Amino acid sequence: MLKLYKFQAGFGRYGALNGVFVEDDERVAKAIGKNVYFGEVLGKHSEVDLDLEEHHFKVMTEDQPFIHQFEKLELATGYNPFDYMEDDEEDEDEEYEDE
């Protein structure tokens, strides 16, 4: 089921990554524990590397008509960790689905 998520990851005095996006709840559950490399998003030499944990994701709503409108209006903002996942990790998910 699609849900509207808020993503938050703090890095102390260096800053934080925040985002609001729609994602399938099963895909979020499978991402917990996986490593995501964001690059130097907090400035030169920042090298943000993060193991995803449950507390990084907050469900904002499960209201499907609202989510549909949110996507239609392209209101996603900020950082979506799924945009930064390695291709091989996504391929692993697909392999398990085929079995």
Tens-place pLDDT, residues 16-36: 999 999 999 999 999 999 999
Instruction: State residue 86's pLDDT score.
Output: 79
List residues bridging with 48 in a β-sheet: 39
Rounded-to-integer distance, Cα 10 and Cα 17, Å: 6
- Cβ(85)–Cβ(39) under 8 Å? no
- Predicted confidence (pLDDT) per residue in 41-87, tens digit: 999 888 999 999 999 999 999 999 999 999 999 999 999 999 999 76
